[in-house]
């Protein structure tokens, strides 16, 4: 056609259409963008697979993955089919077009608009609901595996006489299936109703019938399915009463049937089940009757019955039958709850004995001698002395110790006797690296080095008596692989084994380098792996860095808790992993639990609440287990180890009777090794876990009683006291210590705690469990119950007594002089001859020292209190008699006070030694005179002279073949530069 405009008559230009080259480039960029997105999504999956394969737990990854995929497709397709079929059926049942009403004329525009896209719209709707349903179902992989692999508990609930496995494994799956059925029925009903309305099967304003016969029959069947599912729900609710939680004045976490449940709710649910079945049949009958009159009447009757029978009737029973005589009515059900709760938490065998609370022996000398027989009192508090370890044994700034050290047992190589030991690993501290950059953070500084250990019952001038120290570490632990590539502080990835050398450690000769020789981690020589990790870690340098080459391996998921959680996602992990030197390797030992919230009649508890205490509230490496996990059954079924060098994870079956563990072992075969595979050396370091103990002690505050009347009255309710040594107000943590309970013949490594009456501060009970694995009494819980007629001071009262005595208060005021700080250690309680012996170490930090030193020991027994420089002195003062046992050798004093300084060793026959000791005595006296005058400069000079004199004495003694001081460990002056000797007091 001719150009009708007034413009130029030249050829028309193509505006807005890109050239072929540009279109090709845009298409290429689009394809690359899609591929990049797909690869990024794939990278996470691929790196997970590589990691599981590297730790030899690929079966966990594949089992979990295929279970999720199977549930996704099965339930996704079921939901898509249910919704899609009902849409298709409603469309097929649409009535023929007739005289158009105004309503239908308006709908006709929508019908015409979607007509060309009906298939695509149907496909899109079904795909969307299928994806949502499939994703929801895949999250139920644990429920499915427990249902399909469940093994019987061998115990039946008291109401329905069903095995506990029905409630723990079957009922959760049935409830999921029921919920899925409800969702499918409701979505199908909505989709069918909308389709019938769109195509005229349902009318709102049009004259005549509101629904066609086909629409009536279709929707009635869907409503009948919904009501039938409601009948199933009523039937399952009957069994759900056995695991239902409710508020009850006896406890906030009551679980199980009460009188009103058994006599009102249970029959009500049965009646409602019958009514729902009849109502569903009435809906199905509309296929023949073509009217909703009877179904609607039946549905209304069901709703009314649910209100009257399911709600009003139980309220009447509770008000007029239970409340007037509650104890008599509830007693049989409380007894069931008591029995089930004690079984579910493993406290049914707890031994509760009466304990007088006052001493039964008048001979003070004999009583004084009983102390060492009764307990090895630990005065090194692992939660206080970490800064001391840090200052004396850190060696380099890029090493650090955890905030809380751990208590373990190691044999003295000289005597062969086991001793309580405070131990920590010298882990990598990236914040201490001199220069932070990507190479230093991930290639050069890759690991910590060595364990450091000290006697728990001894101190040397307030410092720990190290039995393993220096760098590389040496001492009583023997020869072992000291490199720590996996630890609690190791939270970032490292790339090792390639062309880039790692810093191993430093000594007087300079910096040592190494290259990782283990087979841990994932190989990065493969370019696909490098690309995947570059995408997964959002770090492009992994892809092209020249520091990565042949042999390079990436280490990640490096904390013990992370590794065990990853290889056993069905376990609940204890909040405190602890290290041990086992068979020449440093092994992290991790306690793991199997749990369920489906144990009938057992009251529930929230693990995050019951395992929290003053340590978890203030320290970084003591985590709270499973913060929101509510359970009513727990077992320490698995002991896990993580090799600090290789990262190898091993799971050992500990509780061989636990049906929950057996179920998971069926689901994940060959992932848990039998108990018989635990070596003797490893067995020596396994212990009773703290988090389980804290859960059990919380339950025992109420469930130590066995009769319903006392339980309902609440007169015997206890509480876990707040930690008196700090102001957090959180519960006192349990303490490991070697001690002997009244019915034991010898000391046992134990985990202990105290109880006070609810709302009061005096002592009501003392609890201990045998914590040494492999021993005959392991796991035996003993509770010493004090008489209510006798008032025995509890931890808070003991602490107040310490602080209120004039002499002690004045001494503490002097200790706080200047810029010094007083820190109270663990307040240990030990049953002794009918009474309770309390011991608390007191540390001082300040006066130029950056770490706490043990300066005093507080002891109280039978109303007598002492605040002395050493434990022995304090015990002597409290009992008014000296022990018959010999004093500890030099360098192994239990404590040192500000008026004591460094004590000179006893005299010697060697003239050289004697001369040095005379110098030490002179320096000691000079220090005492300086203290009296508050002349800290003179005191510091005297302390230096004293340390030098002791050093000379040790050299002279060594020259004639004698042994130096230090108690089997390295002297602090030998393992690190001498700190500022200014007194911290």
Considering only 27-31, 535-539, 732-736, which range has the smallest mean pLDDT?
27-31
Rounded Cα gap, residues 834 and 490, in angstroms: 47
pLDDT at 373 > cutoff 80? yes
- How does pLDDT run across 856-877, given as a tens digit for each residue? 999 999 888 899 999 999 999 9
Most confident option among 22-26, 90-94, 348-352, 798-802: 348-352
How high is the pLDDT of residue 975? Answer: 36
User: Smallest Cα–Cα separation from 631: which of 571, 701, 704, 560?
Assistant: 571
How high is the pLDDT of residue 533? Answer: 93
pLDDT at 633 > cutoff 50? yes
User: Smallest Cα–Cα separation from 381: which of 798, 700, 826, 820?
Assistant: 826
How high is the pLDDT of residue 206? Answer: 59
What does the pLDDT average to over 341-360? 91
pLDDT at 195 > cutoff 50? yes
Backbone angles phi, psi at 928, to 5 degrees: -65, -40
pLDDT at 966 > cutoff 60? no
How high is the pLDDT of residue 958? Answer: 57
How high is the pLDDT of residue 418? Answer: 87
Total Cβ atoms within 10 A of residue 349: 10
- How does pLDDT run across 670-716, given as a tens digit for each residue? 999 999 999 999 999 999 999 999 999 999 999 999 888 888 888 88
pLDDT at 605 > cutoff 60? yes
How high is the pLDDT of residue 592? Answer: 95
pLDDT bracket for residue 10 (50, 70, 90): very low
With a CB cutoff of 8 Å and minimum separation 6, the contacts of 95 are 199, 200, 201, 212, 214
User: Smallest Cα–Cα separation from 395: which of 470, 468, 299?
Assistant: 470
Tokens at residue 743, please? 């019915």
3-state secondary structure of 717: coil
Rounded Cα gap, residues 670 and 677, in angstroms: 13
What does the pLDDT average to over 108-137? 85
pLDDT bracket for residue 984 (50, 70, 90): very low
* Mean per-residue pLDDT over the chain, rounded: 84
pLDDT bracket for residue 959 (50, 70, 90): low
pLDDT at 165 > cutoff 90? yes
pLDDT at 7 > cutoff 60? no
pLDDT at 404 > cutoff 60? yes
Sequential DSSP letters for 931-955? HHTT-HHHHHHHHHHHHHHHHHHHH
> Which stretches does DSSP call E strand in 597-648?
605-606, 630-631, 633-643
pTM above 0.85, yes or no: no
Angle made by CA atoms 397, 399, 401, in degrees to the nearest 5 = 120
Rounded Cα gap, residues 707 and 259, in angstroms: 17
pLDDT at 895 > cutoff 60? no
How high is the pLDDT of residue 412? Answer: 84
pLDDT at 103 > cutoff 70? no
Rounded Cα gap, residues 775 and 813, in angstroms: 46
pLDDT at 798 > cutoff 50? yes
How high is the pLDDT of residue 963? Answer: 36
**What is the percent of the chain with per-residue pLDDT over 70, rounded to a whole number?**
85
């Amino acid at each position: 056609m001719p150009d009708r405009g007034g413009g130029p008559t030249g050829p028309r230009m193509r505006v807005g259409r890109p050239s072929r080259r540009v279109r090709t480039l845009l298409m290429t960029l689009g394809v690359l963008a899609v591929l990049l997105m797909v690869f990024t999504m794939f990278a996470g999956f691929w790196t997970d697979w590589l990691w599981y394969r590297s730790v030899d737990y690929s079966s966990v990854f594949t089992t979990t993955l295929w279970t999720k995929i199977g549930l996704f497709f099965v339930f996704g397709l079921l939901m898509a089919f249910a919704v899609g079929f009902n849409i298709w059926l409603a469309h097929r049942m649409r009535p023929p077009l007739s005289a158009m009403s105004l309503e239908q004329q308006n709908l006709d525009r929508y019908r015409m608009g979607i007509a060309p896209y009906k298939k695509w719209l149907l496909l899109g709707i079904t795909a969307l609901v299928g994806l949502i349903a499939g994703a929801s179902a895949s999250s139920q992989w644990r429920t499915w595996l427990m249902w399909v692999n469940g093994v019987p508990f061998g115990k039946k609930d008291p109401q329905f006489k069903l095995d506990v496995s029905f409630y723990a494994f079957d009922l959760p799956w049935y409830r999921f299936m029921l919920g899925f059925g409800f969702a499918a029925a409701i979505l199908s009903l909505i989709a069918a109703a909308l389709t019938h309305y769109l195509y005229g099967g349902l009318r709102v304003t049009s004259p005549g019938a509101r629904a066609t016969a086909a629409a009536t029959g279709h929707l009635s069947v869907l409503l009948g399915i919904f009501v039938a599912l409601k009948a199933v729900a009523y039937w399952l609710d009957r069994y759900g009463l056995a695991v239902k939680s409710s508020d009850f004045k006896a406890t906030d976490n009551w679980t199980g049937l009460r009188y009103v449940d058994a006599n009102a709710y249970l029959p009500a649910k049965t009646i409602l089940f019958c009514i729902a079945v009849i109502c569903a049949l009435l809906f199905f009958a509309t296929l023949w009757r073509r009217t909703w009159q009877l179904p609607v009447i039946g549905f209304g009757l069901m709703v009314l019955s649910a209100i009257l029978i399911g709600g009003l009737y139980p309220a009447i029973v509770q008000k007029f039958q239970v409340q007037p005589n509650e104890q008599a009515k509830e007693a049989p059900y409380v007894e069931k709850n008591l029995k089930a709760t004690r079984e579910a938490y493993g406290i049914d065998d707890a031994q509760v004995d009466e304990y007088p609370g006052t001493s039964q022996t008048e001979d003070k000398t004999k009583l004084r001698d009983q102390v060492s027989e009764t307990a090895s009192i630990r005065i090194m508090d692992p939660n206080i002395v970490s800064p001391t370890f840090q200052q004396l044994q850190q060696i380099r700034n890029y090493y650090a110790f955890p905030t809380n050290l751990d208590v373990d047992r190691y044999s003295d190589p000289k005597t062969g006797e086991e001793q309580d030991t405070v131990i920590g690993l010298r882990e990598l501290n990236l914040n201490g690296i001199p220069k932070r950059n990507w190479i230093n953070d991930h290639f050069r500084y890759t690991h910590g080095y060595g364990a450091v250990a000290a006697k728990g019952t001894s101190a040397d001038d307030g410092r720990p008596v190290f039995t393993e120290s220096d760098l590389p570490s040496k001492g009583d632990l023997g020869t072992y692989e000291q490199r720590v590539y996996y630890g609690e502080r190791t939270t970032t990835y490292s790339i090792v084994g390639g062309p880039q050398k790692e810093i191993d450690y430093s000594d007087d000769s300079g910096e040592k380098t190494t290259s990782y020789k283990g087979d841990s981690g994932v190989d990065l020589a493969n370019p696909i792996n490098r690309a995947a990790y570059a995408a997964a870690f959002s770090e492009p340098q992994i892809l092209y860095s020249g520091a990565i080459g042949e042999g390079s391996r990436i280490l990640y998921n490096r904390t013990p808790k992370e590794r065990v959680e990853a290889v056993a996602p069905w376990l609940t992990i204890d909040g405190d992993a602890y290290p041990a030197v086992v068979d020449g390797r440093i092994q992290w030992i991790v306690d793991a639990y199997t749990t369920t919230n489906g144990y009938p009649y057992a009251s529930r508890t929230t693990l995050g609440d019951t395992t929290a205490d003053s340590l978890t509230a203030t320290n970084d490496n003591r985590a709270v287990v499973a913060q929101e996990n509510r359970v009513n059954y727990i077992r320490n079924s698995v002991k896990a180890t993580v090799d600090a060098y290789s990262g190898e994870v091993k799971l050992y079956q500990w509780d061989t009777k636990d049906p929950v563990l057996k179920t998971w072992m069926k689901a994940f075969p060959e992932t848990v090794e039998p108990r018989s595979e635990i070596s003797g050396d490893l067995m020596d370091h396994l212990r009773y876990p703290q988090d389980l103990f804290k859960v059990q002690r919380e339950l025992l505050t109420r469930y130590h009683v066995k009769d319903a009347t006392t339980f309902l009255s609440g007169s015997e309710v206890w509480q876990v006291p707040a930690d008196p040594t700090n102001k957090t107000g959180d519960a006192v943590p349990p303490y490991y210590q070697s001690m002997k309970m009244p019915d034991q013949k010898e000391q046992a490594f134990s985990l202990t705690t105290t109880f006070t009456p609810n709302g009061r501060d005096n002592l009501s009970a003392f609890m201990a469990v045998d914590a040494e694995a492999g021993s005959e009494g392991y796991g035996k819980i003993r509770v010493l119950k004090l008489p209510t007629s006798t008032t025995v001071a509890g931890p808070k009262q003991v602490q107040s007594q310490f602080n209120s005595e004039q002499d002690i208060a004045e001494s503490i005021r002097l200790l706080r002089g200047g810029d010094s700080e007083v820190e109270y250690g663990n307040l240990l309680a030990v049953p002794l001859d009918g009474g309770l012996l309390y011991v608390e170490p007191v540390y001082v930090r300040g006066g130029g020292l950056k770490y706490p030193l043990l300066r005093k020991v507080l002891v109280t027994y039978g109303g007598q209190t002492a605040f002395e420089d050493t434990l022995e002195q304090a015990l002597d003062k409290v009992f008014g008699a000296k022990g018959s046992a010999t004093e500890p050798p030099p360098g192994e004093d239990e404590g040192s006070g500000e008026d004591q300084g460094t004590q000179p060793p006893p005299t010697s026959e060697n003239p050289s030694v004697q001369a040095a000791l005379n110098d030490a005595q002179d320096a000691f006296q000079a220090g005492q005179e300086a203290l009296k005058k508050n002349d800290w400069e003179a005191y510091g000079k005297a302390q230096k002279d004293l340390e030098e004199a002791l050093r000379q004495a040790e050299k002279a003694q060594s020259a004639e073949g004698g042994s130096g001081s230090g108690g089997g460990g390295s002297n602090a002056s030998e393992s690190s530069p001498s700190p500022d000797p200014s007194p911290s007091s």
